Structure 1
Amino acid sequence: MVVALGVAAYRVMKWAEEPVVSEQVHPPPKIVTIPDRSTFFQVATLLEHEGLIKSRSAFVLLGRSQSADRRIRAGEYELTAAMAPAEILGKLLSGQVVLHPITIPEGLTMVQIASLMEQHEVADGADFLRLARDGSFIASLGLKLDSLEGYLYPDTYKFPKGVRSRDVIATMVEHFRQAYRPELQARAGDLRMTQHEVVTLASVIEKETGADAERAEISAVFHNRLRKHIPLQSDPTVIYGLTGFDGNIRKKDLSSPSPYNTYRVVGLPPGPIASPGLRAIEAALYPSNSRALYFVSRNDGTHQFSSTLSEHNQAVERYQKRPFRRSALPRT
């Protein structure tokens, strides 16, 4: 009798250790969310309810054999009924959670990045912004800055839902460090530019044009103006310093006392106005040999460059006839 019961128990355990269905059935994957601080019994109950294991009792015994209680990592998991319980347990113990891709385009401000993170349910927007302005946290990343504007590198990332904002930010800053490679740092030294100046200039270039072919030319204009102590007169910097910008720059905006008003302030603004991509960073460090001091939009995504004010005024007349259109760099 005892032998028979043992054999029966063995068969039951072998049955419970098998997948719910065969791989040949190709069951659709399920996204299962394991809440934080779940007990192993609660996890087993959830898996049984989702039809991913045959027996929660057998799964609990399997977990005990591996001291799995309280070691399950919370998060989203992609599981199928064709997975053996041991395989499911392995995923849960190793924390192979679902990663959600999120693309941060070039030229976004950290406020826009925080909003995007929240929209994708990756991180809390308010907490993200708080940390991006927290001096102590920024210092822990090895940076001496008032904020991380410009240093949240635009790229495609993969994060689990509910990831801590500090981990997201640390990852983005690390991507910036990898992009700002040693040869770029050396070039900045040759130009006698600090890292912050490079990122600041790159952010302005990023906001001025999306055309790769003219980034170096835009950069040359700004380098020429900086060298001649001519105000940059960049609309994007003015916009960055405005509160409640409605999409239209007015004459009074060009007289605002903001330190980002490069119509009044000579030199670079006090910091980046957005997150520049690698091409903008490279352009900031490798301007073309152009002697241009002006550029005006052709209204097709590109610009007309001029070396003299007379040429620039002619370009303005040609491309900006309607009064509501303004040149990117107006008359000085």
Structure 2
Amino acid sequence: MKNKKKFFAVGIVICVLFILITYYKIQIGPVNPNDNKKILVTIPKGVSTSQIGNILKDKELINNTTTFRILNKLSKTNGKLKAGNYILSKSMSAKKIVDEMVLGNVVENTIKFTIPEGFELRQIADRLASMNLIDKDKFYKLVNEGNFEYEFLNDIPKGENRLEGFLFPDTYEIHEGASENEIIMKMLDRFNDVFYEAYKNKSIDRDMTIKEIVTLASVIEREAKYDKERPIVASVFYNRIDKNMKLQSCATVQYILKDRKPKLSIKDTQIDSKYNTYLYAGLPEGPIASPGKASINAALNPADTQYLYFVVGKNGQHYFNKSYKEHLTDKNRS
């Protein structure tokens, strides 16, 4: 009887150890064996193994920070992980990542570039080309025909300027020699993160596609100078849509003209284009620029107003009005 209890206890211990070892092997394995997308990771000087684990977890490159620390302890690599810029992927195991950092296989040269909020696709291409980061022909071919597996692109057919509005405006760091595809993917990844974080907290209850939300956000981006005004501008556009009024956004005509005029002519507002919100009711055919986080939030969380008009004042701030008569008064003094 005593031997049976011992045998049972040993069996339990073996089972527990087997489960723990199996769990450990899974946790130090790749996050996604099929995801080879390159991710730039910067490990600052003087950080601990725990801090490196947190950086890698934030980038979704490891499954678990605790097992990462255990791996380093068992491998006797604590304090041996070198600082620098690394190109890693989710298909790499934690052991492979540790090996890269022990060897110090860093990317020596990285380049930063900034895309301002409100830039159009053509302006993004011009800036990247001016920095010798892309070949424009390759860039536009990918923009128009590339295969990008993102939910927000599912209903957008391939074609000219397909990614207008979806290359998120931000400051990026890439390794020297990064391909056009890597640059585009980095910007789409950032859009994906920002948009869905905002979408989780949306207040609007409308039957709108992601493209329509981004289209409105892009118009807000181009119309409003100050973040505090963006939700109010959004409310004006929603109120006009509800009343079947044309949006009459100068920014949509400027997109057609490819020229940001301070004042449009009557002839400009008569250009026959689905982007011309002076001629056609509702939203323009697609986004007219890359909206920033504040404009995306405004499109998803408009202010609660009855305003139908706005005009920009001399200081860049807007006057908002409910009636056309009030609007004309403010327009004359702006």
The normalised TM-score by structure 2 is 0.64
**Cα distance in 1 for residues equivalent to 2:255 and 2:150:** 25
User: Structure 1 residues 278 and 243, CA, compared in 2 at 3 Å: closer, same or farther?
Assistant: closer
Whether the 8 Å contact between 1:108 and 1:274 is mirrored in structure 2 is yes
Match of 1:129 in 2: 140
Q: Structure 2: where are the runs of 5+ without partners?
A: 1-85, 87-99
CA deviation after TM superposition for structure 1 residue 314, in Å: 0.7
Q: Root-mean-square deviation (CA), in Å?
A: 2.6
Whether the 8 Å contact between 2:167 and 2:188 is mirrored in structure 1 is yes
Which residue of the other structure, out of 72, 89, 110, is the alignment partner of 1:99? Answer: 110
**Cα distance in 2 for residues equivalent to 1:298 and 1:182:** 33
CA deviation after TM superposition for structure 1 residue 280, in Å: 0.2
Match of 2:190 in 1: 175
Match of 1:206 in 2: 221
Whether the 8 Å contact between 1:110 and 1:129 is mirrored in structure 2 is no
**Cα distance in 1 for residues equivalent to 2:318 and 2:259:** 27
**Segment drifting more, 279-288 vs 97-106:** 97-106
**Cα distance in 1 for residues equivalent to 2:259 and 2:226:** 28
Whether the 8 Å contact between 2:216 and 2:283 is mirrored in structure 1 is yes
**Segment drifting more, 162-171 vs 197-206:** 162-171
Q: Looking at CA atoms only, which structure, 1 or 2, has the larger radius of gyration?
A: 1
Which residue of the other structure, out of 189, 195, 199, is the alignment partner of 2:210? Answer: 195
User: Structure 1 residues 189 and 301, CA, compared in 2 at 3 Å: closer, same or farther?
Assistant: closer
Whether the 8 Å contact between 1:151 and 1:176 is mirrored in structure 2 is yes
CA deviation after TM superposition for structure 1 residue 90, in Å: 4.6
CA deviation after TM superposition for structure 1 residue 209, in Å: 1.2
| Equivalent residue runs for 1:13-24 within 5 Å | none
Whether the 8 Å contact between 2:107 and 2:175 is mirrored in structure 1 is no
- 2:252 is the counterpart of 1:237: yes
The normalised TM-score by structure 1 is 0.64
Please give the per-residue CA displacement for 1:122-142, whole angstroms capped at 9, x wherever unaligned: 2223321221111xx145455
**Cα distance in 2 for residues equivalent to 1:183 and 1:305:** 26
Whether the 8 Å contact between 1:150 and 1:203 is mirrored in structure 2 is yes
CA deviation after TM superposition for structure 1 residue 245, in Å: 6.8
Match of 2:119 in 1: 108
Match of 1:280 in 2: 295
**Cα distance in 1 for residues equivalent to 2:283 and 2:316:** 24
SS in 2 for 1:224: helix
Percent of aligned pairs with the same residue? 37
Match of 1:301 in 2: 316
**Cα distance in 2 for residues equivalent to 1:278 and 1:181:** 11
**Cα distance in 2 for residues equivalent to 1:271 and 1:112:** 17
Which residue of the other structure, out of 172, 177, 184, is the alignment partner of 1:162? Answer: 177
Please give the per-residue CA displacement for 1:149-192, whole angstroms capped at 9, x wherever unaligned: 00001111001232110111011111111001256157377322
User: Structure 1 residues 303 and 257, CA, compared in 2 at 3 Å: closer, same or farther?
Assistant: same
User: Structure 1 residues 195 and 189, CA, compared in 2 at 3 Å: closer, same or farther?
Assistant: farther
One-letter amino acid of the counterpart of residue 175, structure 1: R
Whether the 8 Å contact between 1:121 and 1:161 is mirrored in structure 2 is no
User: Structure 1 residues 276 and 153, CA, compared in 2 at 3 Å: closer, same or farther?
Assistant: same
SS in 2 for 1:272: coil
**Cα distance in 1 for residues equivalent to 2:290 and 2:203:** 18
Match of 1:24 in 2: none
Q: Structure 1: where are the runs of 5+ without partners?
A: 1-72, 74-86, 320-332
SS in 1 for 2:202: helix
